[in-house]
Structure 1
Amino acid sequence: MNRWLEEFLKYLEVEKNYSPQTLKAYKKDLEDFLNHYQALNIKDFKHLQPFHLRLYLANLKKTKKAPTTIARKVSALRSFFRFLSKKEVIPKNLILYLLTPRVLKRFPRVPTEEELNQMIEQVKEDSFLGLRNRTILELGYGCGLRVGELTNLTLNQLNLQLRFLRVIGKGNKERMIPFGKKAQQLLERYLREREKVLLNLGKNHEFVFINSKGDKLTDRGVRYILKTLGKSYGIEYLHPHTLRHSFATHLLNSGADLRAIQELLGHASLLTTEMYTKVSYEHLLKVYLKSHPRAKKE
């Protein structure tokens, strides 16, 4: 059973281009599932029956796992089972017994354009790390990048003259994202300083964003940087996806086409992008209630 798990994780890494963080989450959820059945002395997938799956789901509920946690585990299992059915390890109909619980949809918390722009402008550039952090903010917000896309960005993916990035996203899908004059100027300055740092440390590689040791900046490193900056500038919930959510929401608020936003974000389905219309509607409602003479409270 563990052999098939390793094959599946390799498939997600090589064929689907999943990030290390996503692979880690899949591995943990699926190992929990396998441990559950191995404890029942089930050591081969061919012995799995529908009632075993119902038992597993019942056990998750019994241990008071949150609906979001159960939904995530079921999603991982469904992907794993689809892989196994293609390999003819299990029958296809076994997937039908994995029912996803209903989960209340939480919409992302997004800072205003003023809050985010003010924070970016206040980040000091008087050191290499300060310059790097501001560049991360500028690209993360200005291009709507996933954290893995940001940390895996290489020099040959940048076109400073034409001002666009070539990004390799989920499923190895490539997309082009433009960026503004401010981002161009920051990148040019940052890359000059980056070259000096790498030269002094005797290192040489293609990754754009590096840490103080000259190594590739990790996803975890970016999360820590943004969390620290958020606390310093009053946006305590700031993390990489906050910048991505803000990119999409602020574009929509400014009248950008939903299809264009879908392309820029690299969403396979327009339904994923449509969640931002809810956030945008709430923003418009607040503006209306605050500004319209017939809506103001007396």
Structure 2
Amino acid sequence: MSIQKTNDRKHLDLKLPLMPWFVQQFIDYKRPDLSPSTLLEYIRDYESFFNWLRAEGLSIADSNTGITLLELETLHMESIISYRLHLTTRAESTNSKVTVSRKLSSLRSLFHYLSQIAEDENFYPLLKRNIMAKVEIKRIHKPKDTAAKLKGKILEEEELLEFVGYIYEGYGRDVEGNKQAYYSFQINRERDACIASLILNSGLRVSEVVNLNVDDLDLNNKMLYVYRKGHNDETFKTPVYFREQAKDDLTHYLGLRSSRYKTPKREKALFIALPNGSQEGKRMTKRAMQEMIIKYAKRFGKPYLTVHKLRHSFATDYYLQNDIYKTKEQLGHASTETTEVYAHLTDKTMSEAIERRLES
């Protein structure tokens, strides 16, 4: 099981007893089909909704565990509209349209289960009236819209190689006047360049990179074995290929992984960090990888570039050479609908190619 899944399962097990019995039943129903990460998101969404119900006096329960089916059954449409308004306007933490849509979808899933699937001892639905069935949830992320937001914020063509090269050399020249930054650069540049190169040459998610172990790497065949998002078989790792460029960078990094980071033999992680004051290296965290890419991106002149946009950069480049089905498999998407983003991102390139053909 991946590190992230293990942590999410622990958090899920801690939070679940704080939910009403019927939510616990719903989560158990969903366990075979959904990852601990997704189930934890459900719990957080229900926690937000139940806290709001009690604050508004729509439930008399002292805690979320005491919220009843009758209280959900007698909610008015006005209450759901008020909750949506609360999510979009509350001063301390306004939610994006995507987040609001997800939170309402979580509620719809719960209410659908209670009214259409779960039943009491007399074979009647647990919930006699489903207010969430009346709520229309518009799809927010259309591939074309997502592609439009990514324009100019990813690496294109020669920039993929230039960015890795910048991590190796350029960043050091830019910060050599800052002793602390330059010292950190000298220690970590091979590792950091390797991480960027691996994503730009394979399209791995940052969580997949974090969870990689040395044993997952097959350099000769340019292949990695990863726990892919959406796969609930926790014993199965998916083979993912990477390009030759990443092989060279991985070989370079592996040559110094043990000595430079004081990595103990028991540590299986591929990418290691050595925190200040530590006597031995340990698995690099997701947050550290994200912050690392942002640091280099700003100096490189791409302030909008993030570790996830490195994945988008690879995908756009890969799609130009392959069809949508190969791109879907390489990225580990559940459906081609998600992969359509890259078709829209490459519209301009494809149209230019058509024009060149017509001129020739």
Q: Please state which band the TM-score falls in when normalised by the shorter chain.
A: 0.7 to 0.9
Change (3 A) 1:229 1:14: farther
Give the match for residue 206 of structure 1.
268
Q: CA deviation at 1:27?
A: 4.5
Give the match for residue 278 of structure 1.
344
Q: How far apart, in 2, do the equivalents of 1:151 and 1:280 lie?
A: 29
Letter in 1 for 2:137: T
Q: How far apart, in 2, do the equivalents of 1:23 and 1:73 lie?
A: 13
Give the match for residue 288 of structure 2.
221
Give the match for residue 132 of structure 1.
191
Change (3 A) 1:33 1:190: same
Q: CA deviation at 1:249?
A: 1.0
Q: Which moved more, 1:63-72 or 1:76-85?
A: 76-85
Q: CA deviation at 1:266?
A: 0.9
The correspondence for 1:179, drawn from 226, 242, 254, is: 242
Letter in 2 for 1:2: M
Unaligned runs of 5+ in 2: 1-17, 61-66, 90-94, 120-124, 170-184, 276-280
Deviation sequence 1:156-203 (CA, Å, 0-9, x none): 2211121101121112264321112221122122123222245x3656
* 8 Å contact kept, 1:18–1:171: no
Q: CA RMSD in A?
A: 3.4
Change (3 A) 1:79 1:128: farther
Return the TM-score normalized by structure 1: 0.81
Aligned length: 289
Unaligned runs of 5+ in 1: none
Change (3 A) 1:264 1:231: same
* 8 Å contact kept, 1:159–1:165: yes
Return the TM-score normalized by structure 2: 0.68
Deviation sequence 1:48-100 (CA, Å, 0-9, x none): 12744652344323653543332121233344456666555854983523421
The correspondence for 2:105, drawn from 53, 75, 82, is: 75
- 3-state SS of paired residue (2:271): coil
Give the match for residue 49 of structure 1.
73
Quick one: percent identity of the two aligned structures?
29
Q: Within 5 A, what are the aligned runs for 1:1-298? A: 2-3=19-20, 16-19=34-37, 26-39=42-55, 40-41=58-59, 43-49=67-73, 51-52=75-76, 55-61=79-85, 63-64=88-89, 66-81=96-111, 88=119, 90-91=126-127, 94=130, 96-103=133-140, 105-107=145-147, 108-109=150-151, 110-124=154-168, 127-172=186-231, 174-198=237-261, 200=262, 202=264, 204-213=266-275, 214-254=281-321, 256-285=322-351
* 8 Å contact kept, 1:248–1:261: yes
Letter in 2 for 1:146: R
